Structure formats: C-alpha cells, structure tokens
Amino acid sequence: MGESDGPTGRAWVEVDIGALRRNAEALAKLARPARLLPMVKADGYGLGAARVVEALRPTNPWGFGVATVEEGAVLRAAGADERIVVFSPCGPRDADDLLREGLEPVVTSVEAMSAYAATSRQAGTPLSVHLEIDTGMGRAGLPAESLESWFADAVQMLQAGALRLESTFSHFHSAESAEQETREQWESYERVLGRLEAADVGAGALHMANSAAALRFPDFRADVIRPGIFLYGGGRAPAPAEVRSENVVSIRARVLDVRELAEGSSVSYGATYITPSRSRVATLGIGYADGLPHSLSNRGTALLGGHRVPIRGAVCMDVTVVDVTDLKGVSSGSVATLLGADGAEVITLEELAERAGRLEYEVVTGLGARLPRISVDRGRDAGEAGTRVATADAAAER
C-alpha cells in the first residue's frame, strides 16, 4: 500500500502549490477589481512562507501580510520584493528594522505614529504605514467609537509628511457567522473614512474583508481583500457553491509496525481502547509532537490504500495506532494519510479540525518542525498521481 510513495522518512507534509495558487485565483476572480493581500504569517500558516509567496506571486497580489518584523525580514532574505505589511503592532524599537527591510507597519495609536515619524525624519525617508481602525475587534487599532479623542492628532501626523499612508483598514470579528454585527462594523469603518475624506486626508487603499467576508459580503470587498485560511484549503463553510477551496495540505506517515492483538488487549497509554475481538493494528510514525492533535485519540481516522481506518487508543508523542483488521496488504513502510486524499477518499482540513475540536488554523500552524514540507503540484484533476516539483527538509525550508 504505497510503500514506494513519498520520501523515505517516517512522516511528512505535502503542500500542493497548484491548489494553493488556484484557491488564490478563484478569490481574485470573485473579488475583482479588488486585489489580494494574502496572509503568510506564522511561516505561511505552517507551510513555509517563502514557498507560499513564490506560489502566489503569479496572481499579482497587492502585497503579503505577516505578523512580525522577523517574519518580514525572513521573506526579504528569501528574495521577496513585494509589499510586506506587518499586521501585529510594532514598537518604536522596531522602526529602524522596518525601514531597513522595507516593511510597512500598521499604526494603532497616535503614540506609534509619533515614534515612526521621528525615525522617518531622522532617516530622511518616509515610512509607509497602514492605519488600523478598531470597529469592534477590541484588540488593537484606533477606536472608531472614540474618534474625537485621537482624530485631530492623527490627521496632523499624517499631514506632516514623515509618514506615507498606504491604506486604512479594519478587522471583522465574525464575518463567517454574524451578518448584522458585520454590517455594523462596516458602517463604523465608513464613518471614519468619511471623516478622513472631509479632512482632506487620502486614506489609501481600503480593506476589511478576510476570507469569510470576501466570500459572503460582496459589498465589503473594497480595494483589497486579505485571504487566509481559504488559501490553505480551509474556510469552506461560508463559501458560495461556485467557490470552493481545494485541499492544499496532506499529512502522510509510514506504517512502522503491524501486529496481531488478542481479544481484550489494551492499546496505547491509559488503556483507553480494549480490543473487542482479535484485531490487527498498525503503528504509524506520527504523533502529537508532529502536530497530530492528541484529541484525535479514539475518534480520528486515517486513510490506507484508499480506505478509512480508525485511530485506536491515545495518540502518543511520536506514534499513533490504527485498526487495520479489515485491510489486506498493510505492512511496514505502507503510507497512511492523516489529512488529504488517498484514492477516492479524502480527509479535509475542515473534517480533521472538527474531529479534533480545533480551529483549522490551529491544525496547519501546529504542524511540527520535524515534518519535512514537500511541494507537489497535482493539477486540478490529477488526484494522487501528481508530480513532485520540489523537495526540501524542514531545516532548509523553515
């Protein structure tokens, strides 16, 4: 069952760069004329940010989004010359690094604007910034509800010339589920934009829509959309029928051992599973240290030879046991799939996350560093008979 497929290691992650690009192209087509600002933070949602940027470059994005200065610097070192927006608030100590790396921070307070302006004047180079408005997320940004407390100072800073305002944006907090609140947030955002226009301050590009908002609310796509989980094969629930994300991530693991167990045998730590009859089990070379959620113990499934097999007992740090009693041909070296497709069967990111009681984001960003990331490009209809286009171990790509 697939012993010769894949690399020689115990477990690995496959990243379908073709599916990743097609997901982006589908959103770009849907949102046009709005452009994409793909989120590649957390090392490209755990898949390798440089790999993701390279895959999405042909879609002509408006820029890429990261969370930290360090993430942006890594992309610059990898050769990315596109706009890179740092979405987590940065401190004054980061200003020199932002200028040196050509990164564009969000500004979330008048104090931050003042600090950045001082550094810009000293360097003799305007710093491109993105003005964040808090319309209800409550974690960062200039609060729309207390506009009068900051507006005059912010306008003065922006008109002084040391800062170049590239965009004004906000975050929806529940676009996938709460329509009324989403519309109220948009109205709050528009009121701030109206005040900026009245003050003769160019707001730059406008953006507020994440994946869910871009799919559900056409009126809120503005100039730019900020897709995240949809690009990586998640976020399916709110999508219209004509726009569905393709699976991007596959998790594979080899069978390390196959054994027969008598009726009444215990399996794994805690003996949480007892065989009801004589059983045959396979031990897979993947565990929670690799990012396979422990919560899949006794409730998750894997695919072997195109068939579903249940996880039995507790997921361990390094290995996981599955029941292969009803399968023939499973032996040491066979390849199991924990996420992705095997023949006609598929475990989607949505399914795995639901079974594990996790967010889809947690699953992909939680994949362990010891799993090599391998690029493949299967083509839309190629199934599992895809062509591997690049291979690298975790140290080289992450």
Q: How far is CA 331 from CA 2, 17, 195, 327, 339, in A?
A: 10, 30, 68, 10, 20
Single-letter amino acid code for the residue at 225: I
C-alpha–C-alpha distance, residues 77 and 73, integer Å: 6
Q: Which amino acid is at 234?
A: G
Instruction: Answer yes or no: 41 catalytic.
Output: yes
φ, ψ (nearest 5 deg) of residue 73: -65, -35
DSSP lists the bridge partners of residue 86 as 66, 105
Tell me the two tokens of residue 193.
């934009």
Helix (H) / strand (E) containing 375: strand 373-377
Q: Residues 41, 45, 116, 361: which is the catalytic one?
A: 41
CB 86 within 8 A of CB 68: yes
Do 368 and 362 touch, CB atoms closer than 8 A? no
CB burial of 223-250 (b: ≥16 within 10 Å; e: otherwise) equals: bbbbbbbbbbbbbbebbeeeeebebbbb
Give strand pairing partners of 347. Answer: 340
> How far is residue 250 from each of residues 163, 264, 343, 350, 352, measured CA to CA in Å?
43, 34, 13, 13, 11
In sequence order, the β-bridge partners of residue 131 are 107, 168
CA geometry: angle 286, 292, 293, nearest 5 deg: 140
- CA 390 – CA 262 distance, rounded (Å): 44
Longest dimension (CA), the chain: 79
Residue 146 in 3-state DSSP?
helix
Candidate list 29, 189, 269, 328, residue with the active-site label: 269
Among the listed residues 107, 123, 223, the one whose alpha carbon sits nearest the alpha carbon of residue 157:
107
Q: Estimate to the nearest angstrom the gap between the alpha carbon of 305 and the chain centroid.
A: 29
Both structure tokens of 383: 């199934």
Cα distance between residue 319 and residue 290, in whole Å: 9
Catalytic residues: 41, 269
